[in-house]
Structure 1
Amino acid sequence: MRLPFLQPLNKPIRDWHDQTIWIIGASSGIGAALAKSLLKLGAHVILSARRQHHLDLVANDHPHAHVLAFDVADQNSWSEAQSLLRKKYSKIDLVIFCAAKYQPERSWEVNANDAADTLKINLASVYHGLGTVLPNMLQQGKGGIAILASVAGYLGLPNASVYGPSKAALINLTELLYSDLHEKNINVYLVNPGFVSTELTSKNDFTMPALQTPEQASQAILDGIANGDFEIHFPKRFTMGLKLMQMLPYRLRFALIRRFVIA
């Protein structure tokens, strides 16, 4: 028998048959890999992003795939999408927020318009989505929310001048969502990947330690959900080092960042 503090924070999910999953940001990267994995596992998967053609390629005419392209940064589009889905599906069991924008830049390179667009996609779109899906999820008495943040939200790291703070906000948001929703029978997952080979990270001009494939990231997320984890972070050999840095006094933390990140 497990001690209370060792019990899973969420109800483990291992059987995906008869599960309806809505993936936001499913046209590429981790979202696309998750969609393919879940379809293979028997789930009904709704794929959403702005790029219809990319979504069609991911869905690949799978009978359990439903492509619903829309601009996730537009609040009104969420209501329209939800209305369409309610006509087709009696329930949505899990919504996974993967949509993101990233531009490597130092603080003095930040452009106000680009920053606003990044925050709109990375952060505001999640609030639009929550405001749309949570009322129905609460009404059905069960469900799940998964938010892809990033280890970039752990620390103030150079080259992530807008992306990092947006992910730090998502970490904070997901933590409070768990506190609010756990007792209402809604699972909440915080996903903090390290470096994953995607369209976003292809913009980096430095060697990315412990680089993962989208397929490896997808498997780590599904393993975490099967374990009932709240925070799903990977690869551990990389993320644990950053977690240790979080615990250091600022003087030591800044010295390490100067030594290993900026140098």
Structure 2
Amino acid sequence: MTAANTGPGVVWITGAGSGIGRALALRYLRAGAIVAGTARRLETLESLPAEARGAGGRFHAFTADLTDLAATRAAVARIDAELGPIRLAVLNAGTHKPTPGTRFNADDVRMLLDSNVMTVANSLDAVLPGLLARRGGMVAINASLAGYGGLPSAAGYGASKAALINMAEALKLDLDGKGITVRLISPGFVRTPLTDRNPFPMPFLMDVDVAAERLWRALETGGDFEIIFPRRFAYILKAMRLLPYSLYFPLVRRFTGI
């Protein structure tokens, strides 16, 4: 079990312009937090304060291309200078694009690795020195249940999320005892603009506000290293990974209708 993540400090959420990141930012604002939201385009963040009107928190927008290490470091330096120390970094920025084997494109895979893996790596590079110096705080890396095993049309996306799962596991081993909590977020299908692109049925599809509420509770009250939702779908996929491929592939086809 990990300790609860309460107390003063800034909540930094990357990819706060849409999807889970946006819903989580709104939930933290309703809880009275100081939230620094990062996105590539300012217009995706501008309506957040109006949506959170009446909430007790304060929202501050920071635009940055997180695939650019220098820009990411500069954004974190601004947050520290203007708002104060970051207590929680939710590294959520990323994207999805189908990469079916029948139309495989290396440029699409490179884009997904840059958007999903390098944005997290750059964010860690920028935020970890401060957390280590203060010997306190939490880093939460948003991966996906798609990182557990191969899924149709997800050769690039799944590979990027599998990399994040491995990265989070390694960081936990390195940072335990240093005052920093590492959490892995593994959502299943959550209704967002990204999942709307999926060309197949999505079992246990969850509303984004429900997902954000579960994520907020898990981050703020402590719990296991991995935060999973919906749980039933996660446990099914975990069990499937223990099966031989002769059973795994037919089950995936049955679940996805491919």
TM-score if structure 1 supplies the norm length? Answer: 0.91
- 1:154 aligns with one of 131, 141, 148: 148
The sequence identity of aligned pairs, in percent, is 40
Correspondence 1:12 to 2:7: no
Distance in 1 (alpha carbons) for counterparts of 2:207 and 2:188 = 11
| Cα offsets for 1:167-220 (capped at 9, x unmatched) | 000000001111111211111110110101111011123221111111111111
Aligned letter for 2:19?
Answer: G
The answer for the alignment partner of 1:96 in structure 2 is: 90
Tell me if structure 2 keeps the 8 A contact 1:47–1:59.
no
The answer for the alignment partner of 2:119 in structure 1 is: 125
- 2:44 aligns with one of 35, 51, 54: 54
The answer for the alignment partner of 1:233 in structure 2 is: 228
- 1:31 aligns with one of 13, 21, 36: 21
Query: 1:89 Cα deviation (Å)?
Result: 2.9
Unaligned runs of 5+ in 2: none
Tell me if structure 1 keeps the 8 A contact 2:147–2:161.
yes
Query: 1:227 Cα deviation (Å)?
Result: 3.4
My pick for the range that moved more, 86-95 or 54-63, is 54-63
Secondary structure at 2:224 match in 1 = coil
- 1:43 aligns with one of 28, 33, 57: 33
Query: 1:262 Cα deviation (Å)?
Result: 5.3
Tell me if structure 1 keeps the 8 A contact 2:200–2:256.
no
Aligned letter for 2:45?
Answer: L
Tell me if structure 2 keeps the 8 A contact 1:37–1:218.
yes
The answer for the alignment partner of 1:21 in structure 2 is: 11
Distance in 2 (alpha carbons) for counterparts of 1:171 and 1:42 = 30
Cα RMSD between the aligned structures?
Answer: 1.6
Distance in 1 (alpha carbons) for counterparts of 2:145 and 2:153 = 13
| Cα offsets for 1:84-133 (capped at 9, x unmatched) | 12221331101001111111231231222222111101001111111111
Secondary structure at 2:13 match in 1 = strand
- In the TM superposition, structure 1's runs of 4+ consecutive aligned residues that sit over 2 Å from their partners are 59-63, 257-263
Aligned letter for 1:24?
Answer: T
Correspondence 1:246 to 2:241: yes
Query: 1:223 Cα deviation (Å)?
Result: 2.3
The answer for the alignment partner of 1:177 in structure 2 is: 171
Distance in 2 (alpha carbons) for counterparts of 1:181 and 1:94 = 15
TM-score if structure 2 supplies the norm length? Answer: 0.93
Give the paired residue count: 253
| Cα offsets for 1:10-62 (capped at 9, x unmatched) | 1123x4x6331000000000000000000110110000011211111123386
Unaligned runs of 5+ in 1: 1-7
Query: 1:224 Cα deviation (Å)?
Result: 1.9
